[in-house]
Structure formats: C-alpha cells, structure tokens
Structure 1
Amino acid sequence: MSDTAENVSILALAEGILSKTKEITAYLQSNNLPASTFSPSSASPPNKADYRELQGSLRTLLEDLQRLVDGPALFYRHFLMRGYEIAAFQIALDFDFFTLIPAEGEISVEELAKKAGLDTDRTGRVVRLLITHRFFQERRKGHFSHNSFSYALQQDDEVRSMVHYSFDEMIKAAAESSVALKATPNESDSVHCPFYARHGVPIFRYYSKHPEHAGRFAKAMAGWRKMENSVTELRDNFNWGSIKGNVVDIGGGSGHVALILARTFPHLNFIVQDESEDMLAQGQRLLTDDVRNRVSFSRASFFEPQPYKGASAYLIRQCTHNWADHDVVTMFRSVVPGLEGSPEGTPLLINDIVLPEPGTVPRYWEREMRQADMVMLVSFGAKQRTKQEFEKLLKEADERYEIRKVHDKGALGLLEVHLRR
C-alpha cells in the first residue's frame, strides 16, 4: 500500500494491518522468537533490519487508520494533550518512580510517595495517567507495579538516562523554538538556536557548566545507540578486515562505539579523541580487560589540525550533524593533516544520517530521519545533510576530497571518503 494513497479506505487499511500482522507473526515464529506482551518478563522485539522494515510498515498503517477513524478534531484534541502528558513523565523521572517501584512485586501509593518525597495525591495522579499509556500497572487498588515498558527503564540506566536527558534538557529547549527563530530568523548555529534560548549557553558548554549532568549525558548517548542499533551499519558497511593498526575515533565522546568495534575486530586498536575531559573520564571507567590495551583516550579538538598521523582510518561519527556548515568545513579541513600523514588509501569514515530526497523512502523511515533533523535544529542550530550537501562541504574544505562509497540504508549512513593524492 503506497504511503501517498490519499483515497485509501478504512477497510483497506484494516486489511493491510491484518496482512502485515500475519507477516510479523510468521517472522517471529520462523525465527523462534516470542511475541511481545505487557508482562515485565516479556522479551523485546528483535532489533534487526528486516524486522524493523515490517515494524515500520505496520506502524504506518496503524497511524493512518487511527487518523481516519478519529478525524482532524479528535486528533488535535489528543495531540494538544501531549505536553501535559510529558509533564507526568518528567515528574516520574525526576522523582525516581521508575526505580522506586520494585522490579518485582508492588508498592503502595503511600509508600511510593514517601520514598519520592511527594504527596500521595499527586503521586497517584501522575502514575495513573502513565498507566493509561501502558506504563506501570495497578492490579490491586492503590498498589503500583511495573509492566514491560516501565520495567525497561527500571532495568537499563543508559536508556533511562537517554529518556531523562531528553525531557530535562532537550524538550524544555524545544519549547523555545519559535522564540529563538523569531529572534534570529536568518542565523542558525550553537548560539542562535532554541537550546541557547532556553539554557543561556551553547550545548557544548552546558555540560562543563553543569558537570552533574555530564555523566548522565554520556550514558544517554549509549542509551541512544541501544535504541537505534546504529553501530550495526558502521560494523557491516565498511570492510574492517581490510585494514590493520590504529583507528582514530574523532569526537568519540566516552568511546562507546570504539569499545563495540574493538570487541568485534580484535585486530584493531582505537584512539578515542574528544575535547571533554568528563567524556574521556567516563570512557576510562567503561574499559574492561578484553579491550583495555587496545582502546586509549586522548584530548583533542576536531577543529584543530589532526595530531595523530599514521592511522589506518579516521572515523567521525554523529559529529557533523551537531554543527553549522562553516564549522563542518573546519572539521573536515582539520582531518587533512592526519590523512596526509597516513598511508595512501586511508579513509575518512563519516557515520551520520544521509538525508534522502523527499518521498524516495518509506514514510516511517523518512520521518525518523527528519525527526533527528529537528533535534539538531533545536539543540545545536545545525542539521542533518544529504549526500550532495556533504560533498559540497568536503570540497570546500579541500578539493582533493572524494566520496568513494555511500551506504545510506539503516539508522545511520556511512560515507567512505578519501583524499586524492
């Protein structure tokens, strides 16, 4: 069924939903995977590309059916309530409801309120709203327990950090979007963006000003990688077996990706570079004995000439989308000394979303990428880019840059770039 079918009927959508549901059930059965339930012990759906494609198609059909059944008036009525529902989720995170409610068993509303330091009335009201969205459950009146969705945040500190950081820093900034754009309608960078309008400091300086949030941010980035599983594309779309020696992870933060790659490719060493001492310190704490001798951390800015020469590859992962065009040009230009000082054929790997042309990919996939683009607009005054936009900035940095390969399928794209000798 086409994403652009304007005259599709409710019945046709329902039949499409049934057909796609049968496909998903057959997929799970053929792979000996259980179907998800709301039980806390329920297994999560598989995070594989072929399953995500089925998942995305079903979500699109379900969304279209709900839109047509509700109509515009009811849709907007529910949509406008999202902000108040976000308030409930924020309270649950800030008052630690997800961890205070035990992993097994239940807790009374009075005990939860006492542990959280909040009154019983508002504690119950917040949790009961979330229950209507299938977070938590109340199987016995006045006693709360987890279901599979709330349990996921109880168990995984990194995913919980991702959700909490999004509410605490980013969604608050998003509320200032129109204010920021009206103030500077023709400028967009880290000081001309909603995040700055809300917090009074660029995001790059926010965590040095608020070190109490820096550790959570590092965990949040690890949680984001779990949710999107984008390391898979980086792992599979470049021939890591064809290189040996040292890979420089430019702007690698706390090194979560380098650690995954190091465990997958034991013949390679990784040098994680970042300007943040907090991120590097977090990375040191993540080292385990299996990679301790093959992953190192070094303070370096990707706006200054690359200090490491002789690498087998340079990797810039999810950094370019954080910066305005002129900053990205500086970033690409700064890699040139490293490439010039390395063996011919050493690639620069740019691992980031590669935006498609409008309407050329399924709607659910395009939306996810354009959602990420809005995150960049709000948080950094920056953007996601098309292949053509990347190519323009690379050539502006150095005419010798050439994009040799493009992998634009999956959660993130991968550009394999070489410096012509």
Structure 2
Amino acid sequence: MSSDSENASILRLAESILENTKEVTKYLQSSNVALPTFSPTAEELPSTPDFQKLQTHLRTQLEDLQLLVDGPPRFYRHFLVRGYEIAAFQIALDFGFFTLVPGEGDISMEDLAKKAGLDQDRTGRVMRLLITHRFFKESRPGFFSHNSFSIALQRDDEMRSMVHYSFDEMLKASAESSVAIKANPFEADSVHCPFYTRFGIPIFDYYKKHPERSGRFAKAMAGWRKMVNNTVELRDNYPWADLKGTVVDIGGGSGHVSIELARLFPHLKFAVQDGDDAMLAQGERLLSDDVRDRISFTKANFFEPQQYMASAYLIRQCTHNWADHDVVTILKSVVPGLEGSAPETPLLINDMILPEPGSKVSRIWERERRQADMVMLVCYGAKQRTVTEFEALLNEADPRYVIRKVHDQGALGLLEVYLDRGHRVNNVSH
C-alpha cells in the first residue's frame, strides 16, 4: 500500500506501520545495533542508504497517520504554536542549558538557574516545555537530567552550533520573508532577501563583520554534515583513487570535507580556498598530523579567475548560496584553471539536486530538499537547482561545459562536469 494514498484508512496505515517497524527492527538486529531508546547511552542509528530508505518510508506513514488522527483543527492548533516552542529551545541554547545539565546525574533547578544567570521560574518553564518534546527529563521533582536527544547536543559542539546558528540568525531572518519579498517581488540575491532585510547586510559580509559568529557557522556546517551524512555520495560516486596530484576545494570553508577525503585517499593533496579568514583559521585548527602536510589553506575569491592548476576542482555546497547570475560568474572563473590543467580534469559540483517537476519521489525526500531550497531563499536570495537548471547556467558560463555524469539519489548530488576540448561526450550518465 502506498503511504501517500489519499484514501488510506487509519487502520490500514497502522497495519503497514507495524510491518515496516518490524523491517526496521530486523535491520537493526542484523546490523548488531541496539534498538533505539531515550536513554542517554542509546546507540546512534545507522546512516547507510538502505536504512535511510526504511526510515523515510516509515516516517511518511507515521506522518500520514498522525494527520488523519488529528484532523485539520487539531493540526493547526499545534502547528501555530511551534514558534513559541522554538522560543523555548532558543532560550535553552542561549543560556547554555544543554551544557550546564551534567552528562551523568542531574542538576537542581536552583543550580541550573544560577549557573545560567536566569530566574528559576523561567528556567523551569522552558525546561518543562522541552521535556514534553522528549528533550531532557525531570528525573525527580525539581531536578533535570539528559536523555538521548538532549545529550547529543551536549556532547557534540558542531551539532549544537548547527542548531544554535539556525535558531539565532536564520529563524530571525525567516520572520522577515514576506516583508523582504513584498519590497522586491521580482529580484532575488544576497541584498534582496530576508536575511538582508533583518540584518541590513549580506550574509557573507555579516560573518566577516562578526568573526565570533563566523567560527560558529564553520562548526555548524561540519555539524550539518554529521546530521545528514552527506559526504557519502562525494566519497563513493567519483573514482578518487584514479586521481593524482592536488584537488582544489573552491569555497571550501574550514576544509572539513577536504580533511575527510585526505584521510580516505592518502595519495592526494588538497588546496582549500575560501574568502573568510575565520573559516580558514578554523580549518587550520582542525588539521591533524596525518593530513597536515597534504592540505593547504589559501584566501581566494571564487568570482575571480582560477589561477591554481589541479587534477580536479571541487565546489561543494556553494552554488546554492548564490543567485543565477552569480553562479554563472563562479563557473566562468573556473574555466582558466580547467584550460591550464589536463584535458580530462573535472569540475565536481557537489550540491543538492532538486527533482524535476513530475518526478516520482518520496514526499519526505522531496520535502527535505524543498526545505533546503527555502533556506537558500531566506538567507541568500538563492536556490537549490534541478539538473536542467544547472545545465542552463553551465552553458551560459561557457558553451564548452558538459555534464558527463549525474548522481542525484543521495543527501547531496554530484555533477561531473568537463570542459569540452573537441571530444565532447553528449550522453549524460545518471
């Protein structure tokens, strides 16, 4: 039974949910992974593509069942107060609740409030709201401790940075979306977007102006990678072992992806380029002895012609940050580097790929990509793109660009792009 069937009854959905829950349980048991609980010592769930498919299918059915059981009035009653629930989460982050609650044992409300610099009344109200969402637990009246969801943010600074940055800068910008679009209904770029309306400055200039926030942003991007395990496609869908020499990581930020690839492929060197000093400094701090002599960091502007010759150019999660005309400029700037490198040198575009209209894909899978597209709209005046849209921008940048392979099924897509030197391959491989 399709979980997207508009005629699905709650009983049939529940029966299907039971069967799919059994499949999830069987997969975990065969993988020697303990079944999930809310205990702070619970194991992490697998991040394999097979398990993610099981998760997505079950989540879709669970969502349908909840919607049908709630009905429209109750759904909207809960949906409309999510902003206030987010306020509680943001207070907990800003006042350090996730790190002040000890990893083992508990803490009294009095001590938590004192350490946070907040009164007990609001400390308790915030904590007890979060507990209803399965964050933290009140182990005994007036004493708080962690569960598996809250302790994940205590233990992982990068994941906590991702959540905090999203609630701090991005949701504030989101609140200005209609205002920004009404002011400029036919323009969209870094100065015609909700982030600019909220903060009065383009997002990248904002982080240059606020280096302390830039450092958190760098950690947040590493945290995002952990949340969606989105280096898998990059690792598995290109033959890195066949390359020799140096990979240029264009707009590579703190270089966390290059560092990971360097560990996996010790015969390669990586040159990380970025325009943000704080990002580059963060990257230097991430280096360990096993990769230190194979990774360099250089301040560079990817709108300017590429001067570095390479065995491959990687631009990862950058194109989605820019409006179409800016992406064309970025793609044009890579051409001098490709022209100076070997004829079969690839430009690897590692970014989310939206499904073409009418594609038969999972509703939740597509929603996750549409959510990311809205992030780009709010923060950058930019967008996620389909393969067709990428092709149009590449052709505008240089008609010699050709996409030879497309990998579009995972968390992120990967486009293998080459500069035609007179032996153009017209068949795009998916």
- The interval holding the TM-score normalised by the smaller chain is over 0.9
Count of residues paired in the alignment: 420
Number of the residue aligned with 1:50: 50
Kindly indicate whether the alpha-carbon contact (under 8 Å) linking 1:316 and 1:350 is maintained by their aligned counterparts in 2: yes
Deviations 1:342-390 (A, max 9, x none): 0110000000011112442111110111110000000100000000000
- Residue 137 of structure 2 aligns to which amino acid in structure 1? Q
Deviations 1:139-168 (A, max 9, x none): 200000000000000000000000000000
User: 1:292 & 1:370 partners in 2: Cα distance?
Assistant: 38
User: 1:35 & 1:76 partners in 2: Cα distance?
Assistant: 33
> Does 1:342 find its partner at 2:336?
no
Kindly indicate whether the alpha-carbon contact (under 8 Å) linking 2:3 and 2:13 is maintained by their aligned counterparts in 1: no
Deviations 1:156-197 (A, max 9, x none): 000000000000000111111011111100000000001111
Kindly indicate whether the alpha-carbon contact (under 8 Å) linking 2:106 and 2:139 is maintained by their aligned counterparts in 1: no
1:220 deviation in Å?
A: 0.4
User: 1:211 & 1:313 partners in 2: Cα distance?
Assistant: 30
Number of the residue aligned with 2:146: 146
- Residue 119 of structure 1 aligns to which amino acid in structure 2? D
Number of the residue aligned with 2:86: 86
Q: How does 1:207-286 map to 2 (within 5 A)?
A: 207-286=207-286
Number of the residue aligned with 1:184: 184
Number of the residue aligned with 2:425: none
Q: How does 1:123-202 map to 2 (within 5 A)?
A: 123-202=123-202
Kindly indicate whether the alpha-carbon contact (under 8 Å) linking 1:3 and 1:362 is maintained by their aligned counterparts in 2: no
- Residue 31 of structure 2 aligns to which amino acid in structure 1? N
Number of the residue aligned with 1:25: 25
Q: How does 1:327-366 map to 2 (within 5 A)?
A: 327-358=326-357, 359-366=359-366
User: 2:45 & 2:146 partners in 1: Cα distance?
Assistant: 18
Q: Which segments of 5 or more consecutive residues in structure 1 lack a partner in the other structure?
A: none
Kindly indicate whether the alpha-carbon contact (under 8 Å) linking 2:24 and 2:51 is maintained by their aligned counterparts in 1: yes
1:241 deviation in Å?
A: 1.0
Kindly indicate whether the alpha-carbon contact (under 8 Å) linking 1:3 and 1:363 is maintained by their aligned counterparts in 2: no
User: 1:318 & 1:211 partners in 2: Cα distance?
Assistant: 21
Number of the residue aligned with 1:100: 100
TM-score normalized by the length of structure 1: 0.99
1:125 alignment partner, SS class: helix
User: 2:213 & 2:362 partners in 1: Cα distance?
Assistant: 37
Query: Identity of counterpart residues, as a percentage?
Result: 73
Q: In structure 2, do the counterparts of structure 1 residues 329 and 263 end up closer, same or farther at CA, with 3 Å as the change threshold? A: same
> Does 1:34 find its partner at 2:17?
no
Number of the residue aligned with 1:287: 287
1:349 alignment partner, SS class: strand
1:293 alignment partner, SS class: helix
User: 1:49 & 1:297 partners in 2: Cα distance?
Assistant: 32
- Residue 333 of structure 2 aligns to which amino acid in structure 1? S
Taking only aligned residues, the RMSD between alpha carbons, in angstroms, comes to 0.7
Kindly indicate whether the alpha-carbon contact (under 8 Å) linking 2:91 and 2:126 is maintained by their aligned counterparts in 1: yes
Number of the residue aligned with 2:373: 373
> Does 1:2 find its partner at 2:13?
no
1:47 deviation in Å?
A: 1.0
1:114 alignment partner, SS class: helix
User: 2:277 & 2:109 partners in 1: Cα distance?
Assistant: 42
- Residue 351 of structure 2 aligns to which amino acid in structure 1? D
- Residue 328 of structure 1 aligns to which amino acid in structure 2? V
1:4 deviation in Å?
A: 3.7
User: 2:402 & 2:181 partners in 1: Cα distance?
Assistant: 35
1:2 deviation in Å?
A: 2.5
User: 1:111 & 1:3 partners in 2: Cα distance?
Assistant: 47
> Does 1:320 find its partner at 2:345?
no
User: 2:282 & 2:152 partners in 1: Cα distance?
Assistant: 23
1:3 deviation in Å?
A: 4.8
- Residue 317 of structure 1 aligns to which amino acid in structure 2? R
User: 1:21 & 1:357 partners in 2: Cα distance?
Assistant: 31
Kindly indicate whether the alpha-carbon contact (under 8 Å) linking 2:193 and 2:380 is maintained by their aligned counterparts in 1: yes
1:103 deviation in Å?
A: 0.4
Q: How does 1:391-402 map to 2 (within 5 A)?
A: 391-402=391-402
TM-score normalized by the length of structure 2: 0.97
User: 2:403 & 2:214 partners in 1: Cα distance?
Assistant: 35
- Residue 149 of structure 2 aligns to which amino acid in structure 1? F
User: 1:180 & 1:228 partners in 2: Cα distance?
Assistant: 30
Deviations 1:223-253 (A, max 9, x none): 0000011111100000101111000000000
User: 2:84 & 2:353 partners in 1: Cα distance?
Assistant: 34
